[in-house]
């Protein structure tokens, strides 16, 4: 007993980790029962695909309905702040994280034998489908995964039918003056909604900042504002309420989309496309 | 017409600096305020200038109190020459003297003809007109003191109060300064100076006020005030006396030890 | 007399010349931007009242930027000259002595607590409250005529405290973007400001300028020391109140809308002082105009420099000002020896 107490914290986790590895190898085909997610976007997929009883914890960010799409369900589950001690205390059999989750956390978890499965950010809808399938397989819910993808495809087809003859020119404005350019998921969202992304024309790759002057002079017909309504104040959000934007909204068709619809590349992206299509319909 | 101070008592940092002192300054006379260190000379001068409010007693300027006159009117009537002589910025001499006209100028008015005349006059009186364009900081001690005196004269006030104007000056400049102050008094202003040098005080002042430990000890002609008995009691010295061209002079000569007998030898 | 006439002429010419330079720099500021703007069309549309896109960009983006640059520069320049006149020390300046960072703290508290969303005026008032607290602390601790070293040390202490408190406030702010926005508050920027910011601070700044300008004769008198100044008819307590109040109003509201831009109040008075015959009173308005020019020019530099993301304005003024401060300290040490 005394010897165990003198061991450093990480080493004390070895028996736990050994147990986990054994459990993982012996339960290769059994679905995980204690899932911990360390990233807001993986949270969403996990919450959609797995039964609540099997989810041990998701991040605190997913519990805010302003930022997350599955907040109601998320609040019924324990919240974590991405800290290694919290993760280990939950005794997970599956940990999922984002590609941008803190490296220190991920490395430490690997060292104690609880290797997190990492999910990157899909750059288009095809990659998004692949990711859904991958997560579904990991969770042992392949059927639900396929159902989700089927639903997505159905809605996409329906939306495709409502696309305009002539694509409208649009520009996206996000907090801090960021816009989305070529080769990003949002770019595809715009295309699917029958819009031309001016930022892509201006040569912006993926995410980049665009000065308000350029937004005003870009010759757009639709202004897509990505905002968190009633959010706490920050300079980043102030930019979106600049008088020039308000004045522009009188000239262009403004569409305000809540950030949560496309912060994560998940099925709510289709909601975003739907809102875009609905908003731009009457102007045709 | 006079500055009349009655029953002035002042305590600073719990210490009684002035105790029921009286003093009157008439126009056209030069009053010397003398006394040992810590007698309260500078404090009394500041009270007269309106810079320090006494705990007890009153000061009346030609019959009115400072409050009745108002700050600017008081500033026009009483000019004060402070002991230290530095300027914070590299002002030119003419600008320094020009500052003496501030009580006369409206807050954002420019200089008037009267202002320019007063400045020129003051600089001529103090013999600093030649330095008009030079930076104050480049002048020597004596020259700088003259410029500051010119600043005080530029106010063209009825009363001029000078706090130890001779400090740090060499003998030539000391005599110079006192002669200028005498001529200012002769023109009709009331001049009061705090002095340490008893010989010079006796020579140049019409009246002397002797203070010791905050009390007024004597007030009158230099001959009466600086008599042997008072010199011994207040300063603890004996003096040599003489005459030159009809003007008496005195020279503190020897200290007296506490028992009262003069020390031997020189 | 000849010398005086010469100096008088110089001062008479100086202010209009500075004013002209401001107009030129402001015009340049309107012409420079991030996207090609057909200026003639924009002006024509703006004057005619047509709300075309170029007119919109001119009136809602470029004009507020130029206006605010001039207003903030004027405030900082004048406040620097005023503080130097009062403390009789050429190193006194809102940034160096910590008043700007305290103003930033006040503004941050008002902004991120959501108070300024309810009451817009809370933002500059927060900045003013911060500036006022710092100035009062300075004067209570140091009195007037404090030595250079004491002044700088007090400034270091205030700057450190205010900077740390600002970082803490941003950390505690509920919005995740907030923690990254400290760069704006401590380094300053004119980007993405609007006319609403201009209207918000203009009356407060004007009040501050008037208060400070009214102390001109008193500051001149103060060159001869406090006793002499009092004997020349100036009420030192009232002077202090006007100066502290005026500087707090001007600097506090400036920092609230553009963050803390430093060194303007240090460099400009120093450069212009010889041109006004070293008179602290005359230096006030001249430093205001000079400050406006400096900030407008620095903002032009920020937009023209091929650095992305865009440099913060406070970075540019610090790159100019910090070496300047070093040189000034060296010179003061040499003179003291």
B67-119 confidence digits (pLDDT tens): 999 999 999 999 999 988 788 899 999 999 999 999 999 887 788 899 999 99
Is the CB of A244 less than 8 angstroms away from the CB of C184?
Answer: no
Q: Nearest CA to CA, how far is B156 from chain C (Å)?
A: 12
Q: Nearest CA to CA, how far is C317 from chain A (Å)?
A: 22
As a whole number of angstroms, the distance between CA A261 and CA A272 comes to 6
Considering only alpha carbons, which residue of chain C is nearest residue A237? C177
As a whole number of angstroms, the distance between CA C197 and CA C139 comes to 30
3-state SS, chain C, equals: CHHHHHHHHHHHHHHHHHHHHHHHHHHHHHHCCCCCCCHHHHHHHHHHCCCCHHHHHHHHHHHHHHHHHHHHHHHHHHHHHHHHHHHCCCCCCCCCCCHHHHHHHHHHHHHHCCHHHHCCCHHHHHHHHHHHHHHHHHHHHHCCCCCHHHHHHHHHHHHHHHHHHHHHHHHHCCCCCHHHHHHHHHHCCCCCCCHHHHHHHHHHHHHHHHHHHCCHHHHHHHCCCHHHHHHCCCCHHHHHHHHHHHHHHHHHHHHHHHCCCCCHHHHHHHHHHHHHCCCHHHHHHHHHHHHHHHHHHHHHHHHHCCCCCCCCHHHHHHHHHHHHHHHHHHHHHHHHC
Q: Is residue C4 part of a domain?
A: no
Q: Do the Cβ atoms of C55 and C265 come closer than 8 Å?
A: no
Tell me, what's the ipTM? 0.90
Q: How distant, in Å, are the alpha carbons of A3, A12, A110, A112 from that of A6?
A: 5, 9, 23, 18
Q: Are residues A93 and A172 in the same domain?
A: no
Considering only alpha carbons, which residue of chain C is nearest residue B107? C217
Among residues A120, A139, A173, the one where a domain terminates is: A120
Q: Which residues of A touch C299 (CB under 8 A)?
A: none
Q: Is residue C300 part of a domain?
A: yes
Q: Which residues of C touch A238 (CB under 8 A)?
A: 192
Q: Do the Cβ atoms of C113 and C235 come closer than 8 Å?
A: no
A212 at interface of C, judged by CB pairs closer than 8 A? yes
Considering only alpha carbons, which residue of chain A is nearest residue C172? A232
B169-225 confidence digits (pLDDT tens): 889 889 999 999 999 999 999 999 999 999 999 999 999 999 999 999 999 999 889
**Which residues does B220 contact at the CB level (< 8 Å), separation at least 6?**
B207, B208
Q: Is residue C310 part of a domain?
A: yes
What pLDDT does A284 receive? 44
CB proximity under 8 Å: A 231-260 to C: 231-239, 242-244, 247-248, 251
Q: How many CB pairs under 8 A join B and C?
A: 87
- What does pTM read for this prediction? 0.85
Is the CB of C280 less than 8 angstroms away from the CB of B99?
Answer: no
A75-108 confidence digits (pLDDT tens): 898 998 888 888 888 888 899 998 877 788 888 8
Q: Is residue A87 part of a domain?
A: yes
Q: How many domains does chain C have?
A: 1
Q: Is residue A152 part of a domain?
A: no
User: Do chains A and C touch, with touching meaning 3 or more CB–CB pairs less than 8 Å apart?
Assistant: yes
Q: Are residues A181 and A86 in the same domain?
A: no
* H-helix or E-strand spanning residue A191: helix A185-192
Phi, psi of A223 (to 5 degrees): -115, 115
Is the CB of A242 less than 8 angstroms away from the CB of C194?
Answer: yes
What pLDDT does A189 receive? 86
Is the CB of A243 less than 8 angstroms away from the CB of C117?
Answer: no
Q: Do the Cβ atoms of A101 and A39 come closer than 8 Å?
A: yes
- The count of C-alpha atoms lying within 13 angstroms of the C-alpha of C127, restricted to the half-sphere facing its C-beta, is 30
C14-24 confidence digits (pLDDT tens): 999 999 999 99
Q: Is residue C239 part of a domain?
A: yes
What pLDDT does A252 receive? 81
Q: Do the Cβ atoms of B197 and B166 come closer than 8 Å?
A: yes
Q: Which residues of A touch C51 (CB under 8 A)?
A: 247, 251
- Which residues sit opposite A95 in a β-bridge? A36
- Which residues sit opposite B58 in a β-bridge? B6
Is the CB of C177 less than 8 angstroms away from the CB of A233?
Answer: no
What pLDDT does A84 receive? 85
B31-46 confidence digits (pLDDT tens): 999 999 888 999 999 9
In this prediction, the residues of chain A whose per-residue pLDDT falls under 50 are: 1-4, 23-28, 284
Is the CB of B102 less than 8 angstroms away from the CB of C1?
Answer: no
Q: Nearest CA to CA, how far is A233 from chain C (Å)?
A: 6
Q: How many CB pairs under 8 A join A and C?
A: 77
Q: Is residue A17 part of a domain?
A: yes
User: Do chains B and A touch, with touching meaning 3 or more CB–CB pairs less than 8 Å apart?
Assistant: no
Q: Is residue C95 part of a domain?
A: yes
Is the CB of C194 less than 8 angstroms away from the CB of A247?
Answer: no
Q: Do the Cβ atoms of B110 and C12 come closer than 8 Å?
A: no
Domain of residue A13, residue span: 2-120
Q: Which residues of C touch A214 (CB under 8 A)?
A: 34-35
- What CATH number did the domain enclosing A240 receive? 3.40.50.1980
Q: Which residues of A touch C191 (CB under 8 A)?
A: 211
Among residues A98, A120, A142, the one where a domain terminates is: A120
What pLDDT does B104 receive? 94
Q: Which is nearest to B78 in space by CA: B192, B204, B207?
A: B192
Q: Are residues A116 and A179 in the same domain?
A: no
What pLDDT does B161 receive? 97
Q: How distant, in Å, are the alpha carbons of A164, A221, A284, B199 from that of A197?
A: 15, 11, 17, 98
Burial degree of A99 (CB within 10 A; 0-12, 13-18, 19+)? exposed
Pairing of strands B159-163, B190-194: parallel
Domain of residue C256, residue span: 65-336
Q: Is residue A153 part of a domain?
A: no
Whether a cis peptide bond, with omega within 30° of 0, leads into C309 is yes
As a whole number of angstroms, the distance between CA A163 and CA C14 comes to 65
What pLDDT does A9 receive? 54
What pLDDT does B189 receive? 94
Tokens, residue B223: 């001959």
* C-beta atoms surrounding A82 within 10 Å: 18
Q: Are residues A36 and A103 in the same domain?
A: yes
Show which subunits contact C, needing at least 3 CB pairs below 8 angstroms.
A, B
Q: Which is nearest to C107 in space by CA: C5, C248, C219?
A: C248
- Which residues sit opposite A94 in a β-bridge? A35
Q: Are residues A104 and A173 in the same domain?
A: no
* C-beta atoms surrounding A178 within 10 Å: 18
Q: Which DSSP symbol is given to A182?
A: B
**Which residues does B214 contact at the CB level (< 8 Å), separation at least 6?**
B10, B16, B17, B18, B19, B21, B39, B40
Q: Which is nearest to A187 in space by CA: A99, A98, A273, A279?
A: A273
Q: Which residues of C touch A243 (CB under 8 A)?
A: 60, 194-196
Q: How many domains does chain A have?
A: 2
- The count of C-alpha atoms lying within 13 angstroms of the C-alpha of C334, restricted to the half-sphere facing its C-beta, is 6
Buried b / exposed e along C307-324 (16+ C-beta atoms within 10 A): eeeebbbbbbbbebbeeb
Q: Do the Cβ atoms of C303 and C32 come closer than 8 Å?
A: yes
* C-beta atoms surrounding A153 within 10 Å: 13
Q: Is residue A27 part of a domain?
A: yes
* C-beta atoms surrounding B194 within 10 Å: 27
As a whole number of angstroms, the distance between CA B129 and CA B127 comes to 6
Q: Is residue C52 part of a domain?
A: no
In this prediction, the residues of chain C whose per-residue pLDDT falls under 70 are: 1-9, 144-146, 337
- The count of C-alpha atoms lying within 13 angstroms of the C-alpha of C152, restricted to the half-sphere facing its C-beta, is 11
Q: Which residues of A touch C196 (CB under 8 A)?
A: 243
Q: How distant, in Å, are the alpha carbons of C21, C24, C30, C300 from that of C27?
A: 10, 5, 5, 11
Q: Is residue C37 part of a domain?
A: no
- Which residues sit opposite A79 in a β-bridge? A58
Q: Is residue C233 part of a domain?
A: yes
Q: Are residues A94 and A175 in the same domain?
A: no
Among residues A120, A153, A179, the one where a domain terminates is: A120
Q: Which residues of A touch C170 (CB under 8 A)?
A: none
- What CATH number did the domain enclosing C181 receive? 1.10.3470.10
Considering only alpha carbons, which residue of chain B is nearest residue C234? B71
What pLDDT does A181 receive? 86
As a whole number of angstroms, the distance between CA C94 and CA C291 comes to 13
Is the CB of C278 less than 8 angstroms away from the CB of B100?
Answer: no
Buried b / exposed e along A186-208 (16+ C-beta atoms within 10 A): bbbbbbbbbbbbbbbebebeeeb
* C-beta atoms surrounding B254 within 10 Å: 15
Reduce the DSSP state of residue A170 to 3 states and report it.
strand
- Chain B positions contacting chain C at CB under 8 Å are 46, 49-51, 71-72, 74-76, 78-80, 82, 84, 86-92, 94-96, 99-100, 102-103, 105, 107-108, 116, 120, 132-133, 148, 151, 155
What pLDDT does C51 receive? 80
Q: Nearest CA to CA, how far is B107 from chain C (Å)?
A: 7
As a whole number of angstroms, the distance between CA B2 and CA B191 comes to 11
């Amino acid at each position: 007993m005394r010897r165990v107490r003198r061991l450093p914290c990480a080493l004390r986790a070895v028996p736990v980790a050994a147990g986990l590895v054994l459990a993982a190898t012996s339960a290769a085909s059994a679905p995980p029962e204690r899932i911990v997610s360390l990233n807001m976007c993986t949270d969403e997929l996990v919450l959609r695909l797995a039964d609540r009883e099997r989810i041990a914890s998701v991040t605190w960010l997913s519990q805010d309905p302003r930022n997350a799409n599955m907040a109601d369900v998320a609040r019924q589950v324990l919240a974590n702040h991405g800290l290694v001690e919290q993760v280990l205390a939950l005794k997970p059999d599956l940990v999922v994280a984002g590609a941008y989750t803190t490296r220190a956390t991920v490395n430490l978890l690997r060292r104690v034998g609880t290797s997190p499965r990492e999910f990157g950010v899909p750059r288009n809808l095809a990659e998004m489908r692949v990711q859904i399938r991958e997560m579904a397989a990991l969770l042992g819910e392949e059927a639900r995964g396929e159902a989700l993808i089927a639903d997505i495809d159905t809605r996409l087809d329906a939306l495709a039918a409502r696309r305009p003859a002539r694509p409208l020119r649009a520009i996206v404005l996000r907090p801090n003056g960021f816009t989305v350019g070529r080769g990003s998921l949002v770019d595809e969202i715009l295309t699917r909604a029958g819009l031309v992304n001016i930022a892509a024309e201006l040569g912006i790759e993926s995410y980049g900042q665009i000065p308000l002057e350029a937004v005003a002079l870009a010759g757009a017909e639709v202004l897509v504002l990505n905002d968190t309504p009633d959010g706490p104040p920050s300079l980043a959000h102030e930019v979106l309420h600049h008088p020039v934007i308000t004045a522009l909204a009188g000239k262009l068709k403004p569409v305000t989309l809540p950030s949560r619809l496309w912060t994560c590349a998940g099925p709510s992206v289709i909601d975003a496309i739907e809102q875009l299509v609905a908003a731009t319909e009457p102007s045709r | 017409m006079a500055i009349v101070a009655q029953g002035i008592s002042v305590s600073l940092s719990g210490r009684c600096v002035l105790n029921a002192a009286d003093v009157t300054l008439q126009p056209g006379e030069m009053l010397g305020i003398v006394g040992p260190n810590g007698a309260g000379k500078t404090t009394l001068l500041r009270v007269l200038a309106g810079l320090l409010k006494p705990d007890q007693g009153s000061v009346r300027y030609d019959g009115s109190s400072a409050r009745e006159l108002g700050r600017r009117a008081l500033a026009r009537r009483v000019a004060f020459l402070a002991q230290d002589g530095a300027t914070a910025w590299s002002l030119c001499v003419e600008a320094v003297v020009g500052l003496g006209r501030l009580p006369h100028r409206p807050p954002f008015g420019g200089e008037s003809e009267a202002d320019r005349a007063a400045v020129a006059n003051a600089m001529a009186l103090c013999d600093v007109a030649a330095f008009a364009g030079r930076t104050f900081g480049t002048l020597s001690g004596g020259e700088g003191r003259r410029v500051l005196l010119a600043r005080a004269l530029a106010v063209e006030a009825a009363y001029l109060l000078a706090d130890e104007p001779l400090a740090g000056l060499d003998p030539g400049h000391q005599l110079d300064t006192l002669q200028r102050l005498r001529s200012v008094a002769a023109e009709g202003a009331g001049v009061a100076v705090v002095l340490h040098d008893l010989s010079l005080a006796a020579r140049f002042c019409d009246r002397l006020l002797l203070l010791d430990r905050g009390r007024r000890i004597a007030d009158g002609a230099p001959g009466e005030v600086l008599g042997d008995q008072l010199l011994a009691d207040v300063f603890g010295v004996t003096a040599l006396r003489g005459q030159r061209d009809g003007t008496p002079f005195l020279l503190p000569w020897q200290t007296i030890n506490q028992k009262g007998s003069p020390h031997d030898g020189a | 007399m000849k010398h005086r006439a010469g100096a008088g002429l110089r001062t008479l010419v100086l202010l209009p010349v500075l004013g002209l330079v401001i107009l030129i720099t402001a015009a340049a500021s309107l012409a420079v931007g991030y996207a090609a703007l057909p200026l003639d069309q924009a002006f024509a549309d703006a004057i005619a009242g047509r709300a075309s896109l170029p007119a919109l960009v001119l009136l809602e983006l470029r004009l507020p930027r130029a206006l605010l640059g001039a207003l903030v520069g004027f405030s900082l320049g004048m406040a620097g000259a005023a503080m130097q006149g009062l403390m009789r020390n050429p190193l006194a300046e809102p940034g160096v002595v910590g008043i700007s960072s305290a103003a930033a703290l006040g503004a941050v508290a008002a902004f991120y607590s959501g108070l300024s969303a309810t009451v817009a005026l809370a933002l500059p008032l927060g900045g003013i409250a911060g500036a006022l607290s710092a100035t009062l602390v300075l004067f209570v601790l140091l009195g007037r005529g404090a030595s250079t070293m004491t002044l700088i040390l007090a400034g270091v202490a205030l700057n450190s405290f205010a900077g740390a408190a600002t970082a803490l406030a941003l950390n505690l702010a509920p919005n995740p973007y907030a923690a990254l926005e400290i760069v704006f508050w401590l380094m300053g920027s004119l980007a993405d400001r609007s006319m609403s910011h201009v209207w918000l601070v203009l009356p407060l700044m004007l009040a501050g300028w008037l208060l400070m300008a009214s102390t001109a004769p008193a500051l001149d008198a103060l060159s001869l020391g406090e006793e002499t100044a009092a004997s020349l008819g100036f009420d030192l307590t009232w002077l202090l109140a006007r100066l502290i109040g005026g500087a707090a109003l001007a600097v506090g509201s400036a920092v609230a809308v553009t963050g803390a831009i430093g060194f303007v109040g240090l460099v400009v008075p120093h450069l212009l002082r010889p041109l006004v015959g070293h008179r602290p009173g005359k230096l006030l308005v001249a430093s205001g105009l000079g400050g406006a020019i400096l900030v407008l020019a620095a903002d032009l530099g920020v937009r023209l420099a091929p650095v992305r993301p865009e440099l913060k304005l406070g970075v540019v003024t610090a790159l100019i000002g910090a070496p300047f401060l070093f040189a000034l300290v060296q010179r003061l040490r040499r003179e003291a020896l």
